Structure 1
Amino acid sequence: MEQEKACVKNGIDCIDKYDYLFEGKRLGLITGPTGLNRQLESTIDILKDRYNLKALYSPEHGVRGNLQAGVHVDTYVDEKTGVPVFSLYGDHRKPSPEMLKDIDVLVMDIQDIGSRYYTYLYTMSYCMEACAENKKTFVLMDRINPIGGIEVEGNVLDPEYSSFVGMYPITNRYGLTAGELAMLFNKEFGIGCDLAVVGLEGWKRDMYQKDTDLLWVSPSPNIPTMDTAVLYNGTCLFEGTNISEGRGTTKPFEMIGAPWLDPYKLADKMNSKSLPGVLFRPVYFEPTFSKHKGQQCKGVQIHVTDYKAVKPVEVGIKLLYEIMDQSSDNFEWLPPSTEKGRYFIDLLAGCEDVRLRRYEADELLYRWKAESLRFKNCKEQYHLY
């Protein structure tokens, strides 16, 4: 018999209790397609109907979710409301004084996925910095962490490898809601903005999205399910390689492969490691876009058998190292990009240790565990729930 799901309200569902933050103020809103209440009404429309919504701000993928990963956004007008939309994923990642001049309060309502690589986190921190510099209030509409608020996994990013896929020294999986993370960023990293958090109701830290009665809306085009969100904390590392991470398939970040791999050998080897909460199945797939577009890839699909037991960073590292071992000379790290001339894998991993393979998987994960425990002790002081 299926366990009864908990009734949970995100921040936008509790807005009536926070009327004092919005009434009589000129509002700006950073949002995306996940900015919805329980009835799937857009936060854009709710704020436009109730208050004085003056401007929208678009992160990666656009305010209505109409853009793929990495597509730069230009300033435009939201066709439904007529409100101007300023881009925060193009020439400006931080709002300029000009973009903020007509507002008093900058509100943010976007579902994150509990992962350091997710660019929405740094859109949030840049906006917090802009609010501090321009004397505006920043209001975070909190949302659940869909992969729970207890587990912490991975290394603490070395600030030398700071980028838009990892700006601050936090772990890959950080175990906080967006509101809690905003509080941590504000204090630990000296942003110091006037911050308010519109809190959740009914959520407990051990709850994943599947434990709640909230509907799943994809936080971005390549995170179609909660299982994807869990695995992303480890399999996102493949974005720094010439191995397909499953973009261009119906199972991004769950199917991993390349044209030269032996899917049966890879699946057998990974299953022999007895990693908790997952099973590996040999698969063939052909991406419709991104790496190896139109080519047959051979690899594995990672099936989550117990979403509370799986350790996604361990899964990602052990699968990466196994694929390196089975790839002969075919495996490559993607060359350095424009972010300070760093390899993309170094920006994702927050260090050079993975690319240089300074340690084998078990030792690397052992070292990272000490870092994650240190971060866990720090982050607990910011728990709201």
Structure 2
Amino acid sequence: MKIGLDLFLEKDYQTFVGKRIGLLTNLTGVNGRLIPAIDLFHEHDGIELTALYGPEHGIRGDAKEGEEVASSIDPYTGIPVFSLYGETKKPTKEMLDSVDTIVFDLQDIGSRYFTYIYSMAYAMEACAEYGKQFVVLDRPNPISGIPMEGNLIEQDIRSFVGLYPIPNRHGMTVGELAKFFNYEMGIHCNLTVIQMEGWDRSLYYDETDLFWVPSSPNTTGVDMTILYPGTCLIEGTNISEGRGTTKPFEYIGAPFMDGYHFARTFNDKKLPGVLARPISYRPNIQKYKGEVCEGVQLHIVDRHQFQSFQTGLTVLELIAEMYPNNFRFNQNETGKYFFDLLAGSSTLREIILKGKSQIFLEDCQKQLEQFAKQRGPYLLY
């Protein structure tokens, strides 16, 4: 197969000869031989690379989640790097003065919480506003392009971890999302998508011939990305989602949990395609840093049967039921719940506490049917 980056450098760049190019990318923007797009563009005789733009985690991927990144000069190329995860998340006019076209080359992970797709959307908005072209170099959805899971975001709960009404697992590539955002969300920028060749939407990332490059410090592999549409919700609670371990979003626990009891109770639910194994671990950052947590590691038995969103809700529901005096949804200093932003819902917290998630899941199916029809015209593969 060939990704959008390969095809752009082979032939499509010719359309943009004479244009000043800005590249929105990071360490995931590499070709099949792991050469960075930054280097390939910088050294290409037919491409005038004049600016770089970096999303969350920075252009070299060395910033932790949520950490603001400053604009800088890239030490390897000498090209200005404009941060889109610092003072602004949307390119300003000044950030775009040195370019005619922005080229987007980032590896998404297939979940709506992941901020790269919203950096793309904001850059598209800026290009529409200031008369610039926008080009997406398409890459695979690492958790395939067929299954969809979850709910659509409520209008009043949109944020940078859920900007548009798409489900938790959307089943689209960045190129397809760009087309969807451009028309369904009314951006209307001058958009070009460089499609892949040889990718089938049933494929998971480890079924391609591409090397795995972590999209962020905690995207450790394909199993983690399959779990993430459900286990990311745990971030909005006082339960450790495994950050600070070798298995973030696979490990789930807290000092007050009994891992053996929880694993047995979870496995008794017989959820499709997943088993829980009791574990103890000591996170080295964030929640319960340095403390022993008991809990489980979730193991995917059958990725084609597994339902991540259902699994995440079941985990939270069980913890709330088993540890009612310890479990809580975290609030910020203004009393807002980060969980609501992740969930895209103002009601899911109470539904979990009442043990009624099955009703919520049934409503999700109706929303997914609606989204499947809406996304249909924008699918490229």
Match of 1:186 in 2: 182
Q: Secondary structure at the match of 1:66?
A: coil
2:278 aligned with 1:285: no
2:21 aligned with 1:39: no
The residue identity in structure 2 corresponding to 1:118 is F
Larger mean Cα displacement after TM superposition, 89-98 or 20-29 = 20-29
Q: 1:119 & 1:361 partners in 2: Cα distance? A: 26
**1:336 Cα deviation from its structure 2 partner:** 3.5
Candidates 38, 43, 62, aligned match of 1:66: 62
CA shift digits 1:117-159 (9 cap, x unpaired): 0011110100000000000000011000000001111001102
Candidates 14, 18, 24, aligned match of 1:30: 24
2:326 aligned with 1:330: yes
Match of 1:308 in 2: 304
CA shift digits 1:35-84 (9 cap, x unpaired): 00001000001111111110111111111111111111001111111111
CA shift digits 1:99-128 (9 cap, x unpaired): 000100001100001101001111010000
Match of 1:275 in 2: 271
Larger mean Cα displacement after TM superposition, 300-309 or 127-136 = 300-309
Larger mean Cα displacement after TM superposition, 134-143 or 64-73 = 64-73
**1:167 Cα deviation from its structure 2 partner:** 0.5
User: Is this contact kept in 2: 1:353–1:359, CA < 8 A?
Assistant: no
User: Is this contact kept in 1: 2:54–2:83, CA < 8 A?
Assistant: yes
Gaps of at least 5 residues in structure 1 are: 1-7
**1:359 Cα deviation from its structure 2 partner:** 6.3
Candidates 65, 83, 86, aligned match of 2:79: 83
Candidates 82, 92, 95, aligned match of 2:91: 95
Q: 1:125 & 1:180 partners in 2: Cα distance? A: 12
Larger mean Cα displacement after TM superposition, 351-360 or 108-117 = 351-360
User: Is this contact kept in 1: 2:71–2:82, CA < 8 A?
Assistant: yes
Match of 2:102 in 1: 106
Larger mean Cα displacement after TM superposition, 369-378 or 106-115 = 369-378
Q: 2:287 & 2:259 partners in 1: Cα distance? A: 18
TM-score by length of 1: 0.96
User: Is this contact kept in 2: 1:159–1:167, CA < 8 A?
Assistant: no
How many residues matched? Answer: 376
Q: 1:21 & 1:32 partners in 2: Cα distance? A: 24
Q: 1:378 & 1:258 partners in 2: Cα distance? A: 40
Larger mean Cα displacement after TM superposition, 269-278 or 185-194 = 269-278
**1:22 Cα deviation from its structure 2 partner:** 2.7
Match of 2:225 in 1: 229
Q: Secondary structure at the match of 1:329?
A: coil
Match of 1:353 in 2: 347
TM-score by length of 2: 0.97
**1:17 Cα deviation from its structure 2 partner:** 2.7
Q: Secondary structure at the match of 1:157?
A: coil
2:161 aligned with 1:165: yes
Candidates 202, 208, 226, aligned match of 1:212: 208
Q: 2:15 & 2:64 partners in 1: Cα distance? A: 33
User: Is this contact kept in 1: 2:5–2:37, CA < 8 A?
Assistant: yes
Gaps of at least 5 residues in structure 2 are: none
CA shift digits 1:236-290 (9 cap, x unpaired): 0011001000000000000000000111111111111111111100010100001
CA shift digits 1:267-319 (9 cap, x unpaired): 11111111111110001010000111000011110011122221100110111
2:138 aligned with 1:142: yes
2:8 aligned with 1:12: no
Q: Secondary structure at the match of 2:122?
A: helix
**1:20 Cα deviation from its structure 2 partner:** 2.9
Q: Secondary structure at the match of 1:230?
A: helix
CA shift digits 1:347-376 (9 cap, x unpaired): 000012221226612111111111112111
The residue identity in structure 1 corresponding to 2:3 is N
Q: 1:17 & 1:206 partners in 2: Cα distance? A: 27
User: Is this contact kept in 2: 1:128–1:193, CA < 8 A?
Assistant: yes
User: Is this contact kept in 1: 2:162–2:344, CA < 8 A?
Assistant: yes
The residue identity in structure 2 corresponding to 1:354 is L
1:331–1:21 Cα change, 3 Å: farther
Q: Secondary structure at the match of 2:321?
A: helix
User: Is this contact kept in 1: 2:317–2:355, CA < 8 A?
Assistant: no
Match of 2:315 in 1: 319
